[in-house]
Chain A
């Protein structure tokens, strides 16, 4: 004798499945790096919309080619997947593995610096008389093209993410 599934139970099951799918889509990912720049487009050359810190939770609203579109207080932006994980960040500081402590965020806050940083570089530059050269490096870090020029160059030559095989 066949048992018929009651209609209310069937509807409830479908609703629950729908909710589960919705929950999976509205995924939350956590920043794993000390700082990550969330970009206007899928690439490092796009303007930064918002800078998130390690441990920040980001709600995913889209995904394309290894990049995640996420919500930020300044509007939606794109962040590369390698900077995110489904779990909240464990401290990337080497200190964590050295002392066997899972989260060193409190220690990080009290630290005067975290390894190689701006003050270390400044001291090195001063010691080695590299002031003129580091100014050139500063200029090199400014892209010599506008975003429109980059997009036009790639579109016309069919190169890069806009024109390539990917």
Chain B
């Protein structure tokens, strides 16, 4: 009985302490919210990690601005039938990806460069040069699935420095007391984030581990979607030959990607699956019709 009373007293004491702590935090914020925010902003690694979180809506806004900048460099290919076909193939892999609730959008850029880009928020671009390099719907699905893999793993967001997200968080918090208008500092950070992603996509490239991860994810998604599990390996082997033949159209691609030789070494063995010949024929025919070869 005595022991039970002691336990009840200790629980009561704990609750009282918790309540007073919460009250003091709340008081300090209400007395001087800016000072509380600024001091809290220095609390270290945990805060940085938390501030790296970005909502899906914010990711899409960032993806839109990155896409706009890409479209300022490369015009869109004016081919509605091809655009529809690429989106139908891309949707098939996106719907079985790890972010099936994100609406992915696919587009073809009118350039001979062999390349593909994945902007945040599900915007995927493939060049006309890359479309010429894929032989069938299986390989097209594999290439698009690789880009979907980058989006699912949020590689482009990870390429932005954590410090930038922390500043966005602090400014957003400070703006809580204001109304209307866009804070110039936030606009500047939005520009920096857009520049950072664009630089990664077009100049620096993702890290090698990120590319290998996108290959693994892409192979998984394409396989899940019912495509030939070996298509990415087949495409990479063909590109490896072009790479070894020093094909100049691959220069931009190789400036931002590991070599196909290295990627083939990292790519897991594909699942063995026999596809019905009539299914392969149907997919090949619609690929040829859309890509017009």
Chain A residues, CB < 8 A from B29: 99, 101
A161 to B282 CA separation, bound complex (whole angstroms): 18
- Is residue B19 contacting chain A, with contact meaning CB distance below 8 A? no
Given contacts A98-B47, A115-B55, contact A160 B62 (CB under 8 A): no
Interface size class of B (residues with CB under 8 A): 35 or more
**CB interface residues, A 103-161, toward B, < 8 Å:** 107-108, 110-121, 123-125, 127-128, 130, 133-134, 136-137, 140-141, 143-145, 149-150, 153-154, 156-161
CB distance from B251 to the nearest CB of A (A): 25
Do B76 and A164 have beta carbons less than 8 Å apart? no
Do A116 and B190 have beta carbons less than 8 Å apart? yes
- Is residue A66 contacting chain B, with contact meaning CB distance below 8 A? yes
- Which of A7-15, A22-30, A55-63, A88-96 interfaces with chain B? A88-96
Chain B residues, CB < 8 A from A140: 67, 105, 107, 123
**CB interface residues, B 64-99, toward A, < 8 Å:** 64-65, 67-69, 71-72, 76, 80, 83-84, 87-89, 91-96, 99
Q: Which residue of B lies closest to A100 (CB)?
A: B25
What 0/1 readout, one digit per residue, does chain B (254-293) give for beta carbons within 8 Å of chain A?
Answer: 0000000000000000000100100100110010000000
* Residue in contact with A34 in the complex, picked from B57, B65, B103, B194, CB distance below 8 Å: B57
- Is residue B227 contacting chain A, with contact meaning CB distance below 8 A? yes
Given contacts A98-B50, A117-B57, A145-B87, contact A112 B37 (CB under 8 A): no
- Which of B5-13, B178-186, B199-207, B230-238 interfaces with chain A? B178-186
Given contacts A42-B100, A95-B169, A115-B58, contact A137 B64 (CB under 8 A): yes
Interface size class of A (residues with CB under 8 A): 35 or more
Do A160 and B91 have beta carbons less than 8 Å apart? yes
Do A157 and B165 have beta carbons less than 8 Å apart? no
- Is residue A87 contacting chain B, with contact meaning CB distance below 8 A? no
* Residue in contact with B182 in the complex, picked from A67, A93, A120, A153, CB distance below 8 Å: A120
Q: Which residue of A lies closest to B178 (CB)?
A: A112
Chain B residues, CB < 8 A from A49: none
Chain B residues, CB < 8 A from A33: 55-56
What is the predominant secondary structure among interface residues of chain B facing chain A?
A: helix
CB distance from B31 to the nearest CB of A (A): 13
A52 to B44 CA separation, bound complex (whole angstroms): 34
Do A121 and B64 have beta carbons less than 8 Å apart? yes
Do A95 and B173 have beta carbons less than 8 Å apart? yes
A154 to B64 CA separation, bound complex (whole angstroms): 28
Do B182 and A82 have beta carbons less than 8 Å apart? no
CB distance from B150 to the nearest CB of A (A): 17
Which of A96, A107, A120, A143 has most chain B Cβ within 10 Å?
A120
A165 to B92 CA separation, bound complex (whole angstroms): 12
Do A107 and B176 have beta carbons less than 8 Å apart? yes
Do A92 and B55 have beta carbons less than 8 Å apart? yes
Q: Which residue of B lies closest to A81 (CB)?
A: B101
A121 to B63 CA separation, bound complex (whole angstroms): 10
Which of A111, A125, A143, A159 has most chain B Cβ within 10 Å?
A159
Do B71 and A136 have beta carbons less than 8 Å apart? yes
Which of B46, B165, B179, B182 has most chain A Cβ within 10 Å?
B182
Could you write out 20 A-B pairs with CB less than 8 Å apart? A33-B55, A34-B57, A45-B91, A94-B169, A96-B50, A97-B47, A98-B47, A101-B29, A107-B173, A108-B176, A111-B176, A116-B54, A118-B61, A121-B190, A144-B87, A149-B88, A150-B91, A159-B141, A165-B226, A166-B96
Interface on B for A, CB 8 Å cutoff?
25-26, 29, 36-37, 40-41, 43, 46-47, 50-51, 53-58, 61-62, 64-65, 67-69, 71-72, 76, 80, 83-84, 87-89, 91-96, 99-105, 107, 123, 137, 141, 165-166, 168-170, 172-173, 175-182, 186-187, 190-191, 193-194, 223-227, 273, 276, 279, 282-283, 286
8 tightest A-B contacts by CB? A94-B169, A97-B50, A164-B226, A80-B101, A160-B92, A133-B68, A44-B103, A94-B51
